[in-house]
Every structure is written in C-alpha cells, then in structure tokens.
Copies of this chain bind each other. A is one copy, B any other.
Amino acid sequence: MKLAAMDKAELRRVNQEAASQYEDFKALHVSLNMARGKPCAKQLDLALGVLEALKARSEFANSNGDDSRNYGIWNGLPEMREIFSGMMGLPADLIILGNNSSLQMMFDCISQGMTHGFGGCKPWGKQEHVKFLCPVPGYDRHFAVTEYFGVEMIPVPMLKTGPDMDLIERLVEKDESIKGCWCVPKYSNPTGVTYSDETVRRFAALKPAAKDFRIMWDNAYCVHDLTDTPDTLLNLYEECLKQGTEDNVLFFASTSKISFPGAGVAALGASARNIVDLKKRFTTQTIGPDKLNQLRHILFLHDLDGVYSLMQGHRKILEPKFRIVEEALERELGDLGVARWSHPNGGYFVNLDVMNGCAKRVVELCRNAGVVLTDAGATFPYGADPNDSNIRIAPSFPPEEELSQAMHLLCICVTLAASEKLLSERF
C-alpha cells in the first residue's frame, strides 16, 4: 500500500516499525563506505596480468625503436591509441594519451580554456562571464572542476533520452557566454541513461553562439555493459563530421574501470584543430606520459577484443550486485510509492529518487547507522539538489553480503524518512 494513501494510524505503524528496524541495524555496528563508484578487489584482480607484463627486455622498444622507459612521445604509444580509437570511435591519430586520470585531462582542458581559450577566441578567464551546462543529476567531479574555475553552472534536466535538448539548443544557440556542456553519454553517472540517437545527432548539429563552445564528452562507461541487452551509443564524432562541427567536442575515456582506477591509462580525443590548441599545452607541461604503463596495457589487452573480453569478467562480478540493489528496492519499497529508481544496462550506479525533501535525511540516517552513501546533493552543481530527492547508489565496491545489508538499511531509511515527512505534513 502506498504510504501517501495511509491514514495516520497506518502511517504511524509503518514509521514505528521502520524506526525499530533502524535501531536493530544500528546495534550491528556496521561500517561500510559506498560513497564512490570504486571497483571491488575481485574486479581489480581481473587485470593482474597488466602487472605481469614487461618482463622481456625487448618489450621496452616502442614502434619508433625508442626505449619506452625514456623521455618522449608526448601523445603516447600508437598501439594504445589504437585500442582507445576502437573504444572512443575516433581515429587513433586524434587521440592523446595521458597518465592515470581522464579527470585530469578534462581539468586541463578547462584550465586551457581559462588561460588560453579555444579556436582563437579570447581566453575564458578574460571574458566577462562564462557558463557551462550541467545535465542533472550528473557527476560531482565534473561540477567540481567548473566550480573550481569560477564557471557558472546551469543545470539541465536529464530525460530518458539524455539531457533536455530543447533547453540546450535554446541556451547554447543564443547565449555566447555558454562555453560548454558536461556529458556522460553512455550509462550516464548516475542515471544510467544512454543518450538516444536523436540526442547525439542534436549535439552534433548544435550551432553555438560561442565559437569556443566545447562539449565535454566523457565516455567513461563506453564498454561497461552489464546485461545481454546493452545500450548502444551513436558515434558523436562521425555525426559531427557530417555537420562539420567536430571542433565543438572534446572526447574522453580511460581504463580506470577496465584495468585499475589508480593506475590505468587515460585518453583525450579531439579534432585536428583542437589538437593544435592542446599540443602546445601538453608538450609544454610534460615530456610525455608514462609509456611503460601503456606498454603493460598493450601487452595485456592486445586490442579492442581484449578489452571486451575483460569487460565480461567485470560484468560477472557487477551484474549480481546490481541485481541485489534492484531486488532490494523492489522488495522493500516497491509497494510504498515513496521512491523511483533506475534499471541501468551498464555503468556504475543505480539512481534513486526518494520523496522530495528526504534525500539528505536518508543519507544522514544511513551514515548514523554505519553506511556512508554519496552525499545527497552531490549529483547537482554546487551540491544543491532543488528537490532534495536524488541519491546515487554505488554497488560495485562492497562484497555481496554487505551490499545486501546496506540496501536493507537504505530501504529502512527511505521508509523512515518518508513516513516521518508524511506524518509531520499531514497530521
């Protein structure tokens, strides 16, 4: 029965039952951190072969005959760029490899916009005021980067097809101060939504008022499928080529959730003209990325097929965890009408929307009982969820048993918060 349809006595009974279950849980003294989308140790073990690589002396010679242990090769080893080419859908010669963090490459691109600008325009830092579009809910670390540089962030609602393109077109095509848009186009963090073909085509067809507008296309979960019916994402680069808009996009990916989060390889893809802008920066900033780590990855992954086959191993570990989350939500909250959640085909998160005004309370209740979730509001610019309803569930890290336990607590807390709220508002 839906909580909203209950009378006072029924609601009070639900509330008291939840409160009592909550106290029981607290008594277990659980301590579990589910705040971040961290792979678990079993997943990391899948890539141990990366560390077994590089045993033969001859392996250090790269395709130029140079020694990969030494300085040089600013854009990384061709064989690794080839693997990313397959993952990202751009030619390998438009791909620049970084070190272990695609976030760092995104940060550096925004930093580049601030101090040097793009496409021959005045640096953003010297323009009156600059803004970025932020599909919400979205990835907190993206928002932290634009906030760090003082860029005003404008939230854009996520729909089932991706961000609200009507709004994006209206804003971008008339407002020259809008310089970019954050996107996680496949299995979006945290909604799990993959942008529809039409959404991708509309991004490609954007005619921004600003000549230095750049879409930050963070394809973090491009090969991170979890079901037999994976989503497919249209190739934005190819769509842009048709429209002649390839300068409008910067593409990102990494092996952080393929090999190791802390020691993977990151990549940036860009049009030839954008690479001209960025090459000067990268070659001034460093004499080259860690090529030994690239070699390790090349020797372990071999090619795109190697990536896909490794991702099957990740799926085997992750899929049951996502099932635990969805089944717990369905079982414990399905009838109560106080929450909606996503059913993603991949990625790292389940998106939970609780009753308006309850997200902070739920996260606080969980924390007080020993389970740390992502902060409520984190999925919005400036940490401000206008409805205080969005919670990001990250099932990957805890072992299955602990995850079940944590989900049980979360459902108790959602029920407790919702019943509290209804009681205080209605009676």
Q: Find out whether the CB atom of B67 lies under 8 angstroms from the CB atom of A284.
A: no
In the complex, what residues of B have CB within 8 A of residue A309's CB?
Answer: none
Query: Does residue A38 face the partner (Cβ distance < 8 Å to B)?
Result: yes
From A111, A114, A286, name the one whose CB has the most chain B CB atoms within 10 angstroms. Answer: A286
Which B residues are CB-close (under 8 A) to A107? 284-286
In the assembled complex, the CB of A310 is this many whole angstroms from the nearest CB of chain B, namely: 14
- Chain B, residue nearest A147 (CB): B284
B262 contacts A69, C-beta separation under 8 Å: yes
A286 surroundings in chain B (CB, below 8 A): 100-101, 103-104, 107
Q: Decide if A125 is an interface residue (CB 8 Å cutoff).
A: yes
Identical chains in the assembly: 2
The answer to whether the Cβ of A135 comes within 8 Å of any Cβ in the partner chain is: no
Closest to A59 in B: B51
- B280 A292 Cβ-Cβ under 8 A: no
Contact of A51 among B100, B288, B292 (CB under 8 A): B292
Provide the residues of chain B in CB contact with A288, threshold 8 Å: 101, 262
A284-B144, A287-B103, A290-B290 given as contacts; is B54 within 8 A of A67 (CB)? no
Interface residues of A in 248-284 (CB under 8 A from B): 256, 260-263, 280-281, 284
Given contacts A67-B41, A70-B39, contact A260 B101 (CB under 8 A): no
Instruction: Tell me if A291 counts as interface (CB < 8 A to partner B).
Output: yes
Q: Is A289 in contact with chain B by the CB < 8 A criterion?
A: yes
**A contacts, CB < 8 Å to B:** 36, 38-39, 41, 44-45, 48, 51, 54-55, 57, 60, 67-73, 99-101, 103-104, 107-108, 111, 114-115, 125-126, 141, 144-145, 148-149, 256, 260-263, 280-281, 284-293
5 pairs, CB–CB < 8 Å, chain A vs chain B: A38-B70, A69-B262, A71-B256, A99-B99, A144-B284
